[in-house]
């Protein structure tokens, strides 16, 4: 390949933990982040948890010379928190908000108010069309009793669907963000296997950063080590994923992360570590397609079989979440009926003085009014909860139906492959080529 066909691309990702008035040293850390980005001059910058638009505008002014193009994704009550800065012109942008995102009454977690979503921008890098995605999935607050697991699985399912259906014309695809998923978690496997995205940490030729690539380290002063149990050193939940196409081959030349402390500063950039990936893009010459070899058929069959297992596992988790949501909806309805019965009983008691002449009210007036207010509050609360749980049930049912169709389609395609080789045979991509993404028929 000629040098003219090679392009180098630097990608940066960071969860900024930028909650105004709540996050520690928020203003100072944004100034540090702005200095870092101005100095390093990445081609694409993908940020999460930039909750205040004022902070985004401040970064935009600071980066106007190095990253003249930017976009801020707005969603939810307080915003999606996602922002993109680029040296290349942004030609289009789109936001998809996840159908499930926690519970509004879990205000101390705050995910529901954030409007978690996936944002997409389309860039032209030379003559190549790049679809760049940034996302932030629901947090995992307790690994042993993870009540948000079905929501996170549905978010991963919707994320892979969104990427597959919007990247068909892209020469290269990049996804970065805080996935809140460990490398072998179900949602992570579902996302990477279905889309064909490659993890820059496992693919890079050179790595400089925290041990095992962890991005939430116990040594960070903003982190409570108890929240990382049972992972004493930390966890890896932030990623830069990528894939090429028939026109472009992508290799990750190097990946680096920050290591907690920042030289000449008393605190780090964030509670998460930043990721910086150096990607090499190489334009491929068009070659006439030929018949698939037996090895390629075995590779595709093995991938399909693996994907069937993963989608089936995801469908099981969604069914568990659906059962829990239906129980919560039933509990809300039953509590509402009890509140209604109490309110009707109180109205009947209130009607006694009107029906029986000269009869006095049997209850003290203050207690009577207090009970009425309590019954009315129960009715309103349970009514709102019933509506919310009904929406959750519908979203989980929709995701489960989509997964059922996907499994059927994958199994149908799998039956079309010869079974001369075991389906669990290891399959390696050809040199210089990206693993072909699996895109089931719609």
pLDDT of residue 78: 83
* Res. 1: pLDDT tops 70: no
List, for residues 189-208, the tens digit of each pLDDT value.
999 999 999 999 999 989 99
* φ, ψ dihedrals at 145, nearest 5°: -125, 75
- Write out pLDDT tens, residues 315-364: 999 999 999 999 999 999 999 999 898 888 877 777 766 666 555 666 67
- Could you read off the pLDDT of 121-152 as tens digits, one per residue? 999 998 999 999 999 999 998 888 899 999 99
Q: Say what the pLDDT of residue 79 is.
A: 83
Half-sphere exposure of 100 (CA within 13 A, CB side): 29
Residue 50 backbone phi and psi in degrees, to 5: -90, 80
Active-site residue, from 67, 88, 136, 272: 272
C-beta separation of 111 from 138 below 8 A:
yes
Pairwise pLDDT comparison (430 vs 96), residue with the higher score: 96
Note the pTM of the prediction, 2 decimals.
0.87
Lowest mean pLDDT among 4-13, 262-271, 425-434: 425-434
Query: In 3-state terms, what secondary structure has residue 422?
Result: coil
User: DSSP letters of 206-275?
Assistant: -EESSGGG-SEETT-TTS-GGGGTT-SSEE--EEEEEE--SSEEEEEEEEEE--S--TTSSS-S-SSPPE
What's the mean pLDDT in 6-29? 94
Task: Say if CB 300 and CB 436 are below 8 A apart.
Answer: yes
Known catalytic residue at 69: no
Phi, psi of 62 (to 5 degrees): -70, -30
The percent of residues in the chain predicted with pLDDT above 90, rounded, is 65
Query: Looking at the chain, how many residues does it have?
Result: 442
Q: What is the CA radius of gyration of the chain?
A: 26
Least confident span in 20-24, 94-98, 263-267, 426-430: 426-430
Lowest-confidence region among 10-19, 99-108, 325-334: 99-108
**Which two tokens mark 80?**
């999606």
Question: What are the C-alpha distances in Å from 147 to residues 55, 78, 179?
Answer: 32, 23, 17
| pLDDT for the residue numbered 423 | 42
Q: What percent of the chain has pLDDT over 70?
A: 87
Q: Are 84 and 46 in contact (CB under 8 A)?
A: yes
Burial code (b: 16+ CB inside 10 Å, e: under 16) for 285-324 equals: eeeeeeeeeeeebbbbbbbbbbbbebbeebbebbeebbeb
At residue 273, φ and ψ (nearest 5 deg) are: -90, 145
- Model confidence at 11: pLDDT above 60: yes
Distance from the Cα of residue 216 to its chain's centroid: 16
CA distances for 59 relative to 16, 41, 85, 395, angstroms: 12, 14, 9, 36
Q: What is the mean pLDDT of the chain?
A: 88
pLDDT confidence of residue 427: 44
pLDDT of residue 358: 57
pLDDT in tens, 392-410: 999 999 999 999 999 999 9
Closest CA to 322 of 384, 386, 395, 387: 395
CA distances from 46 to 63, 73, 207, 257 (A): 13, 11, 20, 14
How many CB atoms lie under 10 A from the CB of residue 358?
5
* 241 against 3, higher pLDDT: 241
**Higher confidence at residue 111 or residue 429?**
111
Distance CA 386, CA 393 (A): 10
Closest to 244 in 3D by CA, of 413, 6, 3, 46? 6
- Interval 239-245 mean pLDDT: 96
How far is CA 187 from its chain centroid? 9
Helices and strands counted in the chain (H then E): 9, 15
Least confident among 17-21, 246-250, 341-345: 341-345
Mapped onto helix, strand or coil, the DSSP state of residue 198 is strand
Positive or negative torsion for Cα 244, 247, 253, 256:
negative
* Per-residue model confidence (pLDDT) at position 196: 94
């Amino acid at each position: 390949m000629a040098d003219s066909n090679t392009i180098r691309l630097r990608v940066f990702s960071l969860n900024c933990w930028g909650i105004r008035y709540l996050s520690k040293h928020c203003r100072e850390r944004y100034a540090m982040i702005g200095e870092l980005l101005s100095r390093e001059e990445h081609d694409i910058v993908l940020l999460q948890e930039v909750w205040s638009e004022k902070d985004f505008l401040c970064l935009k002014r600071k980066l106007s010379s190095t990253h003249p193009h930017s976009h801020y994704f707005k969603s939810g009550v307080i915003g999606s928190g996602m922002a993109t800065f680029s040296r290349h012109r942004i030609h289009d942008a789109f936001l998809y908000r996840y159908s499930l995102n926690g519970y509004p009454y879990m205000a101390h977690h705050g995910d529901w108010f954030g409007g978690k979503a996936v944002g997409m921008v389309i860039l032209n890098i030379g003559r190549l069309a790049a679809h760049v995605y940034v996302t932030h999935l629901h947090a995992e607050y307790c690994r042993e009793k993870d009540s948000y697991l079905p929501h996170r699985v549905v978010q991963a399912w919707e994320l892979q669907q969104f990427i597959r259906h919007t990247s068909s014309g892209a020469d290269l695809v990049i996804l970065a963000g805080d996935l809140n998923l460990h490398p072998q978690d179900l949602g992570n496997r579902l996302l990477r296997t279905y889309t064909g995205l490659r993890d820059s940490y496992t693919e890079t030729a050179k790595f400089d950063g925290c041990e095992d690539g962890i991005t939430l380290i116990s040594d960070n002063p903003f982190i409570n080590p108890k929240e990382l149990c049972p992972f004493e050193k930390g966890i890896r939940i932030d990623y830069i994923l990528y894939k090429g196409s028939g026109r472009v081959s992508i290799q990750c030349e190097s990946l680096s992360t920050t290591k907690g402390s920042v030289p000449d500063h008393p605190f780090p950039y964030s509670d998460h570590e930043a990721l910086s990936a150096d990607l090499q893009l190489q334009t491929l010459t068009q070659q006439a397609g030929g018949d698939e070899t037996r090895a390629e058929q075995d590779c595709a069959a093995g991938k399909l079989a693996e994907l069937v297992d993963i989608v089936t596992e995801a469908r099981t988790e969604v069914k568990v979440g659906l059962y829990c949501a239906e129980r919560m909806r039933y509990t809300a309805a039953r509590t509402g009926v009890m509140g209604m019965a109490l309110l009707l009983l109180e109205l009947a008691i209130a009607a006694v003085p009107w029906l029986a002449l000269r009869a006095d009210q049997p209850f003290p007036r203050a207690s009577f009014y207090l009970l009425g207010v309590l019954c009315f509050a129960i009715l309103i609360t349970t009514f709102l909860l019933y509506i919310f749980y009904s929406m959750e049930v519908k979203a989980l049912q929709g995701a489960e139906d989509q997964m059922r169709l996907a499994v059927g389609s994958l199994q149908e395609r799998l039956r079309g492959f010869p079974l001369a080789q075991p389906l669990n045979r290891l399959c390696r991509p050809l040199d210089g080529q990206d693993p072909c993404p699996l895109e089931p028929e719609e």
